[in-house]
Amino acid sequence: MMPSIHQSKIKTNKNLTILSIESSCDDTACALVQSDGTVFAEQIYSQKEHVEFGGVVPEIAARAHLSHLSTLVKKILSQAQLDWSEIDAIAATCGPGLIGGVIVGSSFAKGLALAQNLPFIGINHIEAHALTVRIPNISSVQVQFPYLLFLTSGGHCQCIHVTNIGEYQRLGGTIDDAAGEAFDKVAKMLGLSWPGGPALEALAKEGDENAFSLPRPLYGRPGCDFSFSGLKTAVANLLTGYENTDTLPRQLAADIAASFQKAITTAIINRLENAIKMVPDTTLLATAGGVAANQYLRKRLLALAEQYKLPFIAPPMKYCTDNAVMIGWAAIEILHQASNTNKLIDDISLLPRPRWPLSEMSERFKH
């Protein structure tokens, strides 16, 4: 990462305004975010092009990002009634994620930064999720370090000890499928539409969560890793003889959905209980990621936090899933931390990456 003369434009003692872009998967998003937490404008295009395939097709996702980004940026500038002179920096996801989409979004943002002579801040998508709960006014609790984050989405399931900006300790994670992936695959087995997670949650409300005794993978074992593949196999075994989901009775499907949701949540709570014990200095339990929008899971997480006398923070549902507000806020946090450590941040030479470990985030403050 090579500092540029653009950085001289950043005055972190003022209220920064960041134009941000998120394109790591199938949501194309843009936002204008201020460092006091004000969201001037935000736009998101949730790609429908993947529905007929029952999952995200990377090439289609990248093309959709390319088609919609320019329009979305114009919309947020118009909505906020801001011009380029009022924007301090441009931020975009540079990884991890589907590499085609990451390339499209970050390249588009870099082009804007060069054209407008503004700094470019490359954002780690996971770091942005981790810092979402620190956005001012997102809850009644002011989030201080350190805190325990349970990140759960279609591509990630991790327990992360967040000790400062750029300082993250991965306590445990999935050894096979992420929780969101498990929700989607079980939903598909039940003949539900994609995306499967919300559809399964809705169906589960009609079912009996005690109808079937399903495995709780790794329950009771040390550590806070996760495994969901065996749970998916158990559901598949229940559906033997119903390969054509059109013949699957709705009540049976609802009972399976409810039993699955209970089993996966119970396993998650057990693993998180271990994580809490691993970091006794944590100030609260937070969650983020698309699966964190599941209300059944949120209630169980709240009960766990209360058991250990910890505050529980979950972002509003629209900020659990991929969004550009979290990208802009992460850029603001990074710029303030860079100012505190007398570092210059301009990531115009940062390459997009499909994988980008959180353990590397502290490097930007060391040079």
137 in a domain, yes or no?
Answer: no
Q: Among candidates 325, 327, 307, which has minimal Cα distance to 316?
A: 325
CATH code: domain of residue 207: 3.30.420.40
| Residue 217 and residue 77 share a domain | no
| Residue 91 and residue 152 share a domain | no
| Residue 117 and residue 16 share a domain | yes
Q: If you average pLDDT over residues 246-267, what whole number do you get?
A: 96
| Residue 37 and residue 126 share a domain | yes
pTM, whole model, 2 decimals? 0.93
Q: What local confidence, expressed as pLDDT, does residue 1 receive?
A: 42
- Residue ranges for the known binding site for Fe cation are 125, 129, 322
Q: What is the number of residues in the chain?
A: 367
| Residue 220 and residue 296 share a domain | yes
- Residue ranges for the known binding site are 125, 129, 151-155, 184, 197, 201, 294, 322
Counting the structural domains of the chain, the total is 2
Q: Model confidence over 90-134: pLDDT tens digits? A: 999 999 999 999 999 999 999 999 999 999 999 999 999 999 999
DSSP track, 191-228: TPPSSHHHHHHHHHTTS-TTSS----TTTT-SS--B--
| Residue 283 and residue 174 share a domain | yes
- Residue ranges for the known binding site for substrate are 151-155, 184, 197, 201, 294
3-state DSSP call for residue 6? helix
| Residue 168 and residue 38 share a domain | no
| Residue 332 and residue 301 share a domain | no
275 in a domain, yes or no?
Answer: yes
DSSP track, 35-71: TTS-EEEEEEEE--TTGGGTS--HHHHHHHHHHHHHH
Segments forming the whole domain that contains residue 60: 5-132+320-365
| Residue 284 and residue 157 share a domain | yes
| Helix, strand, coil percent content, the chain, rounded in steps of 5 | 45, 15, 35
CB 154 within 8 A of CB 292: no
Q: Model confidence over 160-197: pLDDT tens digits? A: 999 999 999 999 999 998 999 999 999 999 999 888 99
> Which one of 298, 314, 330 terminates a domain?
314
| Residue 90 and residue 19 share a domain | yes
> Which one of 296, 314, 332 terminates a domain?
314
| Residue 329 and residue 221 share a domain | no
